[in-house]
Amino acid sequence: MATVHTAIRGKMGSTPYYVTTMKVSDLVQVARPASEQEEWATTGLTERLQRELNETRVRTEIAPYLANSPDRFFGALIVLLDADEEPEFESFSEVAKSLPKAYRSTMSKESFGFLTIESGDRIILDGQHRFAALREVVIGRTVEGDQAKFVSDDEVTIIIVPRISTQHTRKIFNKVNRYAKNTSRGDNILTSEDDGFAILTRRLADDDGPLAGKNHKGESLVNYKTNTIADRSVQLTTLSAVYETVRIIAEHYEMADALNEKKTHVRPAEDVLDQGYEHVQGWWTTVLDGMPMLKHGRDNTKVLPDLRAKDTDYGLLFKPATHIVLFQALSQIMEADEELTLKDAVERAYRVDWKITSPLWRDVLINSAYNILTKKENYNLAADLLTYLVVGDKVPVNDIQQLRVRIAAARGADEKTFTLPAPLSN
């Protein structure tokens, strides 16, 4: 069936293209992902033009975002017109013989007009997951949300590329995807207005938050550009690490689902954010107050490289990974001993040996070269060890036995003879 669209005609290199908009209800009827084209799906690796559709991502992340967010927005989808004949384009200057003088110079370029497509498959060349989510909401109707019924009337931008050859199409797909760069985790935390964890993370580092301010070089105390801190850095921690501490605190107070973008898909209510911030601000303030050397580093950034040195008493406390481990352990400590306050838990944890060279952390959180072990299992093991050291008398015997076996395995020691250090005395 022929379709007519108002469009802009363009050309980049040898590739002609047309830019138009379509209602979602129309697009999902006429287009489909390349992975659903039978002849494409059965070709060899050298002929494949797209990766397989990740249906789980479509149904659990993108479609719920569409169905729940009134501020939803997508970038342009690239559609391959797989037809034997070229689409017909008529410029406004051809159709409208008499144009106002002010428009003539622009219209004479013959870039604006009407695009008529007589036949051919519309194949999603770039944006197949976004397209599949639109189709899931409009046709599948398996995703609930107060915005779901409005999605079909949304308009999306379409870039139509006529097929020239399989090789030409493959080149387009390859370059579009090769040079596309996902935003970094730091960028996502800085910009998200729907992720409650990200919003609270920013509040901690903004205005009068406990991690706000700049160092003596004019940099933010919190490094948002990378997920690591160099030994000579004069920044206190990373945005990514602070984000993880926020998540841990939210889980401790059973607020994680209310703040998690993957659960809510929209910005949490302001009262929820305020309640969450009260918790995270309180925890970070208590940790800084209860660990004087950490607070000293925050307030005197010139000495951070010296404080972070491997042979100093509290060097490990100036590693972002340790901040994640510490907050996880604090949550576990207070769950193990419900009578213990956060202040008391922090003060006890501060008494632990925080030297990077301490045998306590060897193969648990630190390797033989005194670098951080970054696997999640190491973070969990370190948090469990810290919990045991602080409230060992409250930890179940079976859990202590399992901890002993896990650390022995990490160190390659004989679990039959390996012993844990004694927990701190109260």
Among 339, 424, 315, 411, which Cα is nearest to 368's? Answer: 411
Confidence of residue 322 (pLDDT cuts 50, 70, 90): very high
Count of residues for the chain?
A: 426
Structure tokens at 300: 């005197």
* pTM of this structure: 0.83
Q: How far apart are CA 199 and CA 209, in angstroms?
A: 12
CA pair distance 263, 150, nearest whole angstrom: 21
Model confidence pLDDT, tens digit, residues 197-255:
999 999 999 878 999 999 999 999 999 988 899 999 999 999 999 999 999 999 999 99
In this prediction, residues 273-287 reach a mean pLDDT of 98
DSSP reduced 3-state for 107:
helix
Give the mean pLDDT of the chain: 90
Q: What is the DSSP string of 19-87?
A: EEEEEHHHHHHHEEEGGG-HHHHTS-GGG--SPPP-HHHIIIIIHHHHHH-TT----PEEEEEE-SSPP
Tens of pLDDT, residues 20-41: 999 999 999 999 887 776 554 4
Q: What is the residue-wise DSSP string for 398-414?
A: HHHHHHHHHHHHHHT--
Query: What is the tens place of the pLDDT at every residue in 105-148?
Result: 665 567 888 999 988 888 898 898 999 999 999 999 989 999 99
Asked whether 268 and 255 are in contact (CB, 8 A), the reply is: no
Write the single-letter amino acid at 175. K
The pLDDT of 2-12, averaged and rounded, is 91
Residue with tokens 């797209």: 50
- Whether residue 408 is predicted with pLDDT greater than 50 in this model: the reply is yes
> How far is it, in rounded angstroms, from Cα 103 to Cα 424?
81
Whether the per-residue pLDDT at 156 is higher than 80: the answer is yes
Residue 42 pLDDT exceeds 70: no
| Closest alpha carbon to 313 in 351, 364, 363 | 351
Q: Provide the pLDDT for residue 420.
A: 95
Per-residue pLDDT of 260-278, as tens digits, reads: 998 888 899 999 999 999 9
Between CA 387 and CA 315, with CA 304 as vertex, the angle to 5 degrees is 35
Per-residue pLDDT band for 53 (boundaries 50, 70, 90) equals confident
Q: Select the more confidently predicted residue: 2 or 397.
A: 397
